[in-house]
Amino acid sequence: MKKKQSFFCFFFVMIIFSCKKKTIQDPIPFQNVNVTIYPNDPLNFKIQVVGGWMYYNGAGVNGLIIYRKTNVGANDFIALERTSTYLPNNASAKVKVQSDNFTLKDTISGSKWQIIDGAVLLGPATLPLKQYYTNYDSGTGALIIRN
């Protein structure tokens, strides 16, 4: 009986130590992002309504796609990196919003993501688009985007 207990104890310990948490390394190079924009500014009219989106250049690796999900709180917006997670080192593989205003497509690989959260819709990409932290303060009208 003791041999069985020892065996199960040894087996259990081996399982615990052999389980390692797999981490997925972000393929997108780190780029400091700290942007404040004002959606109610006439220049940003495209994101004044739910479902509106706009490109924002000058932040991230290849720029951002800013999408307005709701108009009820601090999490009204999402900001996604325009760099493809399938071809992160190819500057020509920019992600573009498609005519349906819901699908994002890598111009080189044909990979597709959804605009509401950057999730993969069609490969060869297997990773979602990089998402940046957003916080909208309706009192000041400021949308803060950062990593």
Q: Specify the pLDDT at position 80.
A: 95
Q: Specify the pLDDT at position 13.
A: 38
Tell me the CATH class for 32-146. Answer: mainly beta
Distance CA 48, CA 38 (A): 10
Q: Specify the pLDDT at position 60.
A: 83
Q: Is the CB of residue 114 less than 8 Å from the CB of residue 125?
A: no
Q: Is the CB of residue 140 less than 8 Å from the CB of residue 147?
A: no
Q: Specify the pLDDT at position 34.
A: 92
Q: Specify the pLDDT at position 27.
A: 77
The token duo for 132 is 């940046």
Q: Specify the pLDDT at position 2.
A: 56
Q: Which of 127, 109, 106, 108 is nearest to 118 (CA)?
A: 127
Q: Specify the pLDDT at position 25.
A: 63
Q: Which residues of the chain have pLDDT under 70?
A: 1-25
Domain segments of the chain as ranges: 32-146
